[in-house]
Structure 1
Amino acid sequence: MNRKINWDALGITTSLACAIHCALLPLFLSSLPLFGVNIIDNVSFEVFMILLALVIGSYSLYHGWKKHHHSWLPFLLFATGIALLFCKQAWHKYQFWFLIPAVLLIVSAHFINYSYCRVHDHAHSSDCDH
């Protein structure tokens, strides 16, 4: 069976997972340090999540750009969102001010990329699901 991966959906899922980790996890799991588990404000985990979003998102957007729509708008939105995630790490005191627009920009970039892939008109339209 040949399954196609929808990279935009995977990118959106990764971005939302990052947002959930950053926004909700501290509220529900604030007792984890008592048990020796530290994933809240763990710099390594945070950077890993940002890099994961960067790698998956970059591949997804590149695929859409190269094979379908040739628009730079999704890249610009995505790059701004990723930059805000790194700002969140650098200025941790203001993390929620960076996090919300970062996630909105990254999800918007994937949604626009997905939409642009769907409206193109060429012979390899079945490639959009990769």
Structure 2
Amino acid sequence: MKLKNQTIDLIALTSSIICAIHCAAIPILLSFSALSSIHFLHNPLIEWSFISLGVILVVVSLWPSYRKIHQRSMPLWLAAIGFVFIGISRLDFSLWWETGNTVFGACLVSYAHYRNWKLLSVKPHLH
């Protein structure tokens, strides 16, 4: 169980980092006219797919780790706050609003998976 959760955390951590890079890089890349053909990457379907994958990975990874192994709620809170930032980024105020909140939220979700992974790596003390 512990090894399975650590593997899921590494996958989730990687996907969250890729999401943050994607969200930060796309506005910059789209600003270059020669790269305007990659506009398909700024697609709501791709964005909602990343968000859905992130939620699934949180449920599959962080929740069982919390309930069965370490009982520390910090990773869950970090992920929840991260998804709040991702959610408010969907409000269409400006490109910088969307990018900043999405990247910050994705980084919080990444950090939640990292913290969970570290908590799973801690060896129990025998008394």
Give how far 1:91 is off.
Answer: 3.3
TM-score by length of 1: 0.76
Could you tell me the percent identity over the aligned residues? 27
CA RMSD of aligned residues (A): 2.3
Query: Once superposed, which parts of structure 1, at least 4 consecutive aligned residues long, lie more than 2 Å away?
Result: 25-30
Aligned counterparts of 2:93 and 2:48: Cα–Cα separation in 1: 13
Is the CA contact (8 Å cut-off) linking 1:19 and 1:99 kept in structure 2?
A: yes
Asked whether 1:83 is paired with 2:123, we answer: no
Task: Give the unaligned 5+ runs of structure 1.
Answer: 123-130
Give the alignment partner of residue 36 of structure 2, picking from 31, 38, 41.
31
Task: Give the unaligned 5+ runs of structure 2.
Answer: none
Aligned counterparts of 2:12 and 2:85: Cα–Cα separation in 1: 16
Alignment length, in residue pairs?
116
Give the equivalent residue in structure 2 for 1:57: 58
- Sort the Cα spacing of 1:120 and 1:63 in 2 relative to 1 into closer, same or farther, 3 A: farther
Greater percentage in helix? 2
- Sort the Cα spacing of 1:87 and 1:26 in 2 relative to 1 into closer, same or farther, 3 A: same
TM-score by length of 2: 0.78
Aligned counterparts of 1:62 and 1:18: Cα–Cα separation in 2: 21
